[in-house]
Amino acid sequence: MSGWRRRSKSDGRGRGERLAVTVLMTLRHPPERMLTAALRALGRRRPEVFERLGVANDVDLVVAPSDFPVAFRLRPGHGAGRVEVERHDAARPSAARITGPLATLIGLFDGACDADAAFFARRIRITGDTQAVVALHNTLEAAELTTADLLPLPDPLRRWTGALLSAGLARLRAREG
Amino acid sequence: MGSIELVCPAGSPAMLRAAIEAGADSVYCGLRDDTNARNFPGLNFSPQELSDSVAWAHRHGARVLLAVNTFAQAGGSDRWRRSLDAAAASGADAVIVADLGVLAYAREAWPHLRLHLSVQAAAGSPEAIAFYAQAYGVKRVVLPRVLSVEEIAALMREIEVETEAFVFGGLCVMAEGRCALSSYAAGRSPNLCGVCSPPEAVSYSEEEDALVSRLAGFAMDRYAPGDPAGYPTLCKGRFEARGVLSYLFEDPVSLNAMSLLGGLKRAGVTAVKIEGRQRGKAYVARVAAAFRAAIDAIDRGESPDAYEHLLTDLAEGGRETTGAYRKRWR
């Protein structure tokens, strides 16, 4: 069960958070299209990333930020896959689920955080197919992606946006300790 | 007395660059198959990545050591020969080998390729080391992690090859190259397949507010909320025996022998080695920078104490040990 879902049912902020889930689920199609386009652009630009990913290309992986209203379902699909937004309590099966604070999860994506240390310290949790999670972790480590790779933008704009996003996330992570 | 060489791990070209930029003198890595002892999905180098990385390292004044350190399998030894051929073609500075047949092929096919003996060979006596040096021209031995600093100093007086000692990272409690625990539980081992506790056999589940880790269905540990977690291996599992719950073989701790760097240097050790090819860029950058600073401090005649506790949060179980070096280890 995600931290977000637990909190939303047990304290006074529950109503606001349920509203946020409803709004984000209603408006999920534009971010889904953006993230899917970014995934496929990466597939065209960096096919070796998906080659390294191996068996994890053909499974669904759910990334569930514990401090964000919705989760993300990733099917790499050898660079031709998709990203979907879903509720934390969605009943659809997945190969594996990775849960943790959003800033930490983005830090794992761009290599700023040590995944093993985050796991040993229980800042992130994984359930399901460990092999797929290990493949994803090792592939992201090797790929040297930045947060800008989450955006389907042309190159100079992508780099500038990425630098801004990275600086903001570094501040956020420093504040979280 | 020259400076001690800092050897760091690389699971990818990006990690190799991070290690060298943080101060590594040498980096060790493996190809993407079962010829090396870290054969995890998504990890390691293609032959082309190896060649490109060797060229990059040499431009930055660093060396690359290729681990071909699993034991060749009957009927499949072509892969080990191809890995050595790839090492030679890439210009790698040395190969790290354990298997006698692989050593023999390297000596015969690539006589100028420098040979290091892997920790997997578990060569810890002067006689064993002399055999590898005389028979195959081995130039350096990676020491088994069961020797104290005093034993290493005594050994160094009787051998004529370089030595490399692990000083940081995950700790194998068994005689390396001889351990069959992973095979027993999960069917694959580091010795033949390059993987201890293969990830396809590992699972985590949350049960009654505790996190339970399993290997091939066998429960290895149960972590209360907030307890540091670990990767499930049989040697670091927590089991009940005669009514007592304990870590039967070894606690889930990591090696940190930074405080012993001076003693290892005085003993004559050539190089110190960081474990953790599977850990990533953030890990290797921090560990390499801390050990670089400690080694430089020792070279200036200063104490490395200021750097010793910088890395505790990276340790498995959040706890560190000096392992066998001080023989306080169970």
Scan residues 268-297 of B and list those with Cβ closer than 8 Å to A.
Answer: 278-283, 286
User: What's the rounded Cα separation, in Å, for the pair B93 and B111?
Assistant: 13
User: Do B64 and B54 meet the contact criterion of CB atoms below 8 Å apart?
Assistant: yes
Q: Which fold has domain B5-171+253-326?
A: TIM Barrel (3.20.20)
**pLDDT digit string (tens) for A119-168?**
888 999 999 999 999 999 999 999 988 888 887 777 777 777 777 777 77
Q: Is A173 left (phi over 0), alpha (psi -120 to 50) or beta?
A: alpha
Show the domains of chain A with their CATH numbers: 3-176 (3.30.1050.10)
H or E element at residue B164: strand B162-169
Closest CA to B62 of B83, B32, B92: B92
Q: Name the pTM for this structure.
A: 0.89
User: Which of A98, A114, A129, A146 is the best substitution to test chain B (most B C-beta atoms within 10 A)?
Assistant: A114
Let me know if B108 is exposed, middle or buried by CB neighbors in 10 A (0-12, 13-18, 19+). exposed
Ranges of residues in chain A whose predicted pLDDT is under 70: 1-13, 172-177
User: What's the rounded Cα separation, in Å, for the pair B175 and A157?
Assistant: 54
Main-chain dihedrals φ then ψ at residue B244, nearest 5 degrees: -115, 130
Q: Do A56 and B281 touch (CB under 8 A)?
A: no
Q: What is the pLDDT of residue B176?
A: 79
* Cβ neighbours of A76 in B, within 8 Å: none
Nearest CA in chain B to A112: B282
Exposure string for B127-139, b = 16+ CB within 10 A, e = fewer: ebbbebbeebebb
Q: What is the pLDDT of residue B2?
A: 80
User: What's the rounded Cα separation, in Å, for the pair A19 and A103?
Assistant: 22
Q: Do B223 and A122 touch (CB under 8 A)?
A: yes
ipTM reported for the complex surpasses 0.95: no
Q: What is the pLDDT of residue B323?
A: 77
Joined tokens for residue A40: 């496929």
User: Where do the H-state alpha helices sit in A66-148?
Assistant: 102-109, 115-120, 130-143
Nearest Cβ partner for A120 among B41, B230, B280 = B230
CB of B217 within 8 Å of any CB in chain A?
Answer: no
Q: What is the pLDDT of residue A13?
A: 59
Position A172, amino acid: L
Share the mean pLDDT of chain A. 86
Q: What is the pLDDT of residue A4?
A: 53
Which pLDDT tens digits describe chain B residue by residue (330 residues)? 689 999 999 999 999 999 999 999 999 999 999 999 999 999 999 999 999 999 999 999 999 999 999 999 888 899 999 999 999 999 999 999 999 999 999 999 999 999 999 999 999 999 999 999 999 999 999 999 888 899 999 999 999 999 999 999 988 877 778 888 999 999 998 888 989 999 999 999 988 889 999 999 999 999 998 888 889 999 889 999 999 999 888 888 888 999 999 999 999 999 999 999 999 898 999 999 999 999 999 999 999 989 988 888 877 666 778 877 775 554
What is B53-108 written as a DSSP string?
Answer: HHHHHHHTT-EEEEEE-SPPPTT-THHHHHHHHHHHHHT-SEEEE--HHHHHHHHH
Hey, where are the domains in chain B? Answer: 5-171+253-326, 181-247
